[in-house]
Amino acid sequence: MDTQASSEERRRAPRIQILRPVKIRCEATGKFYTGQTQNISDGGALITVDHPSLLVTGQKVRVGIAWASQQMLMNSSQLSPATVARSLGHDAKQDVAIYFDQFDCLSQTA
């Protein structure tokens, strides 16, 4: 079985490789983390988070993608709700796959 084909079939929207700064707020702890998108789609994103503490599958987060440099100053109300699909720690970082809880959330962060 081709696992890459299987994962692509599960996706609702195509992914675009793009590097943009990200702010993530963990709903459980209230902590903020910074990171960078690796790829993004209407349905989700893969984000490298600059912190070794793992966000776990199913965890609720709020995500803000900075499309312009001044947008890193977003407050919590400007972040879009999302859920962690999976995470993998490496070095002092982690790769976190998230899916947006609202399908049109990219228009809210732009």
Query: Domains, the chain, ranges and CATH?
Result: 3-109 (2.40.10.220)
Do residues 61 and 83 touch, judged by C-beta distance below 8 A? yes
pTM score of the predicted model: 0.79
Q: What is the structure's pLDDT at 104?
A: 54
Average pLDDT per consecutive 10 residues, the chain (110 residues; last block may be shorter): 48 84 93 94 93 90 85 76 94 94 58
Q: What is the structure's pLDDT at 14?
A: 84
